[in-house]
Amino acid sequence: MARVGPFDLRLHDPGEPRSVADYRRRARRALPAMVRAYLEGGADDGVTLAANRSAFERWRLCPRLLRSAARRDLRTTVAGTGLELPVALAPTGMTGSFHWNGEVAAARAAERAGTRLVLSTASSYSIEEVAAATGEDHWFQLYPWGDRTVIGELLDRAAAAGYRALFVTADVQVIGNREGERRLGFAVPPTLTPRRIVDAGLRPRWWYGFLRHRRIALANLVTGTGATEALRSVAVHQGLMRPDMSWDDLAWIRERWQGPLFLKGVLRPEDAVAAVEAGATGVVVSNHGGRQLDGAPASIDALPAIVDAVAGRGEVLLDSGVRRGTDVVKALCLGASAVLIGRPFLYGLAADGGRGVSRVLEILAREVDSTMALIGANSVAELDRSYLSDRKDPRCTPG
């Protein structure tokens, strides 16, 4: 680098990633196509996957001017836990396939940012390993599959390891039809071809981490690591899958788990009300990032009616499609107390391990902060629907 008058002169200026989209581009370069398909996949034709983005665009922010928004307070509370920013990390399975340090790196990055990770049942590091590697009480996501002995054991392990809140995922009655994954060989068992092997070999950093640490098995279900164990654990997990789950099972889990409990995957107001009436602390409005039921509504469009139906009796979180600070602010204006991000933190993880996750959280925090300044809001608590236009009418006219 040289200085020429007021300019920096460089031969090449790749720059630091500045947005979630920049991290997405880096992640796509870092990962073999097969793993990329698992990360990005949507069900069927990707209608809901695309709607998760386009729906955010239809809601417009209506700025208030000259409001002296000098000190923006991004703090919020979820399940009694104070967070420094209204963004937490969603549960994702087999996170070690994106970067060998998987959920450990993600949970540590969440802590550095003053927020939390929801650890998936299908994680690459076990409940106990993540608890031992971190200093805060993180949250645990339960796939309520298998009989009550299996579920009870997972709940006991999570409680004993100090996880504070439970997220029960109800929208995986069967696995969504993600054809893209299967087309690229991400299946049980995975299909390797010379081309796919070369494709992985061309990503030496990923390949090295994969071969050296072999962190791809579902660590809560088996003790070994490596590809054979991974396949065995996925088979065990899928064998536990139960499309016959009912509200009785939720009631049983509610009785069994002492701490705060959220039902994840809610898209209908009456399901949110039923969850709260069954004793849930709240719900996560989510379509699983468009990975399950294609044709389901975008979460942000489902949110307002659910907030109205719950009417302060429970907390409402949102995920699916959040990529910008403006998206976070829109969700908060519509009544969510925080959002979860899935793919955005995985992009950071795949591109640059824990540092990438930290940077993604920093980027989103900065974007939320500047959005609040630009709309004239001093705190998360101040955000309400008056900052949004009607989604069918982009003008900022009252009423």
Ligand X SMILES: Cc1cc2nc3c(=O)[nH]c(=O)nc-3n(C[C@H](O)[C@H](O)[C@H](O)COP(=O)(O)O)c2cc1C
Give, as ranges, the residues between 136 and 155 that touch ligand X (CB under 6 A). 141
Cα end-to-end span (Å), the chain:
55
The reply on whether position 289 binds ligand X by CB under 6 A is yes
C-alpha pair distances (Å), 277 with each of 28, 240, 280: 43, 27, 7
Supply the minimum distance, in Å, between the C-beta of residue 92 and ligand X.
Answer: 4
The single residue among 17, 46, 86, 91 that binds ligand X, judged by CB under 6 A, is 91
Residue type present at position 290:
G
The yes or no reply on residue 321 touching ligand X (CB under 6 A) is: yes
Query: Quick one: tokens of 101?
Result: 């340090």
Residue with Cβ nearer ligand X (63 or 180): 180
Total count of residues recorded for the chain: 399
Peptide bond into 394 cis (omega under 30): no
Query: Buried (b) or exposed (e) across 241-260, using 16+ Cβ within 10 A?
Result: ebeebeeebbeebbeebebb
Which positions are annotated as active-site residues? 288
Q: What's the min distance (Å) between Cβ of 230 and ligand X?
A: 14
Q: How far is the CB of 137 from ligand X (least distance, A)?
A: 19
Q: Does 264 participate in binding ligand X (rule CB under 6 A)?
A: yes
- The C-alpha atoms of residue 223 and residue 220 are separated, in whole angstroms, by 8
Work out whether 99 is an interface residue with ligand X (CB under 6 A). Answer: no
Can you say how many angstroms the Cα of residue 396 is from the centroid of all Cα atoms in its chain? 31
For residue 320, state whether it binds ligand X (rule: CB under 6 A): yes
The H or E element containing residue 3 is: strand 2-4
Among 48, 115, 120, 326, binds ligand X (CB under 6 A): 120
User: Which one of the spans 58-66, 144-152, 342-350, 358-366 is the region binding ligand X (CB under 6 A)?
Assistant: 342-350
User: Does residue 92 contact residue 117 with C-beta atoms inside 8 Å?
Assistant: no
Helix (H) or strand (E) holding 2: strand 2-4
Q: Is 341 in the site for ligand X (CB under 6 A)?
A: yes
322 binds ligand X per the rule CB under 6 A: yes
Stretch that binds ligand X, among 60-68, 90-98, 155-163, 208-216 (CB under 6 A): 90-98
Q: How many residues make contact with ligand X (CB under 6 A)?
A: 24
> What does the binding site for ligand X look like in residue numbers (CB under 6 A)?
38-39, 52, 90-93, 120, 122, 141, 169, 264, 286, 288-289, 291, 319-322, 341-344
